[in-house]
Structure 1
Amino acid sequence: MCKALSLSFILSVVVFSPLDALAHDNQNLEFTPFVGYRLDGDFEQTDPATGIETELSLEDKSSYGFSIAWPYSDQRQGEFLISHYQTDFTSHNASSFSTHNKIDVTYLHIGGNVPLTHVPVPIKFSGGLGLTYLAPQSSRFDSESQFSINLGLQTRLPINEQLAFRVDARVFATFFDSDGELFCSNQGCIASVSSDLWLQGEITAGLSFSF
């Protein structure tokens, strides 16, 4: 957890902005709905009968969400982000768990971005922190809420003064206790993590509306 707090402090210094800085440098509030594609994020599973570890695989699938950005200083922006997807996860241990299920994974983050280039199609470094919410569709299993951060790059192609096409690439890192168990029920837990970080990647595209 000390590692998580250290990363949080670095992000807050580099990219975060005070929420009261909503009008600066003649910029506007921006609303960006987007669609994307989420990658990776497998867990581990241990067969209670044999003790053998197998993989609980999450399928790469489409995602969607929105962000709200506000101006700060030096062309920086603060940003609130929600990104959601529903995916199938497959267990290779059929004796202890049904082989096909669904899970919702949602990120709720607050952060910001800073420009890396100042050309007509700029590149920005983005980051944020918040919560990862993992919710199996089966009511038999508990959902999980964990602290997480994201880091990435974004670019945008202006269409007119109020509209721009935006592309983001992010890595989400969720912090777990090492060897922690997940998605538990009366019959036990179906997954675990063997490290402090659970990683997913996401590529998104959307339209930014300025107000």
Structure 2
Amino acid sequence: MSAIVRCLLILVFVATATQARAEVEIAPFAGFRMGGEFSVNDRDTDESDTLKFKDSEAFGVVMNFDLEEAGKQAELYFGRQETTASTSDRLLTENSYSVDVTIYQLQFGGLYFPGGRNTGGFVSGVLGVTRLEPKPSGLDDHHRAAIAIGGGYKLALTDNLLARFDLRGLYTVLDSGGAVFCDGGCAVRFDSSGYGQVEASAGLALRF
């Protein structure tokens, strides 16, 4: 997690440095993330199976910085999901067909409001990195490139408080042939170019 925290701090510094005069929004959120499956291959038998993530809650925080052009904001997104990865008949660890996984996303991009304001409906696009962190901690972590696109709505409650609603599609790129959640002797490999998930969330944004 230390690497993710360092990246988050660097991105916050860059964003605030480039938009020093801009107003800032910070929005903690809670939501539900669905989907996420990809093919895996047994290196020894060359048989394939499907690995699936269990649908579960997701939490995180979004930061936005006003840009000079009306209706546009820079966005920094950090999300976290605790889930379980499972297969039907491929052992991911000794005597187990499933592994608990924490999925982190750290991404940077922007928002666009068609109405030229910083409230109302918007579309979003961000890109960055996904970290797959299996448990127990002895298994290998994975870092992969990721992208997310979506849309939502910001409702002004006061001058400095907004309700925010998002629907995001997230896609994580996988390296076909790479090992899956291994501890040195795992024979299961990625056999897919990536996987997609959908996240619905809501939060309160503080603007200052």
| TM-score after normalising by structure 1 | 0.81
- Which residue matches 2:89? 93
> Take 1:115 and 1:166, find their aligned partners in 2: how far apart are those partners?
13
Tell me, yes or no, if structure 1 residue 45 matches structure 2 residue 43.
Answer: no
1:49 CA displacement: 5.9
Which amino acid is 1:46 matched to? N
1:139 counterpart (137, 140, 143): 137
> Take 1:56 and 1:66, find their aligned partners in 2: how far apart are those partners?
28
- Which residue matches 1:163? 161
Relative to structure 1, the CA distance from residue 193 to residue 20 in structure 2 (aligned partners, 3 Å threshold; closer, same or farther) is same
- Which residue matches 2:121? 123
1:118 CA displacement: 5.3
Query: Would you say the 8 A contact 2:70–2:116 is kept in 1?
Result: no
CA deviation map 1:90-137 (0-9, x unaligned): 221255641232001110011111112358962111111111000101
Paired residue secondary structure (1:184) = coil
Paired residue secondary structure (2:181) = strand
Q: What's the C-alpha RMSD, in Å, of the aligned pairs?
A: 2.3
Query: Would you say the 8 A contact 1:152–1:168 is kept in 2?
Result: yes
- Which residue matches 2:197? 200
1:76 CA displacement: 0.9
Relative to structure 1, the CA distance from residue 82 to residue 120 in structure 2 (aligned partners, 3 Å threshold; closer, same or farther) is closer
CA deviation map 1:12-36 (0-9, x unaligned): xxxxx89512425xxx210100001
> Take 2:185 and 2:119, find their aligned partners in 1: how far apart are those partners?
54
Tell me, yes or no, if structure 1 residue 76 matches structure 2 residue 72.
Answer: yes
Relative to structure 1, the CA distance from residue 122 to residue 169 in structure 2 (aligned partners, 3 Å threshold; closer, same or farther) is same
Q: Report which stretch shifted further, 51-60 or 164-173.
A: 51-60
> Take 1:179 and 1:131, find their aligned partners in 2: how far apart are those partners?
19
- Which residue matches 1:20? 18
- Which residue matches 1:14? none
Which amino acid is 2:179 matched to? E
- Which residue matches 1:66? 61
Relative to structure 1, the CA distance from residue 133 to residue 57 in structure 2 (aligned partners, 3 Å threshold; closer, same or farther) is same
Tell me, yes or no, if structure 1 residue 210 matches structure 2 residue 207.
Answer: yes
| TM-score after normalising by structure 2 | 0.82
Relative to structure 1, the CA distance from residue 67 to residue 192 in structure 2 (aligned partners, 3 Å threshold; closer, same or farther) is same
Q: Alignment length, in residue pairs?
A: 191
Relative to structure 1, the CA distance from residue 175 to residue 18 in structure 2 (aligned partners, 3 Å threshold; closer, same or farther) is farther
- Which residue matches 1:107? 105
1:204 CA displacement: 0.9
Query: Would you say the 8 A contact 1:107–1:132 is kept in 2?
Result: yes
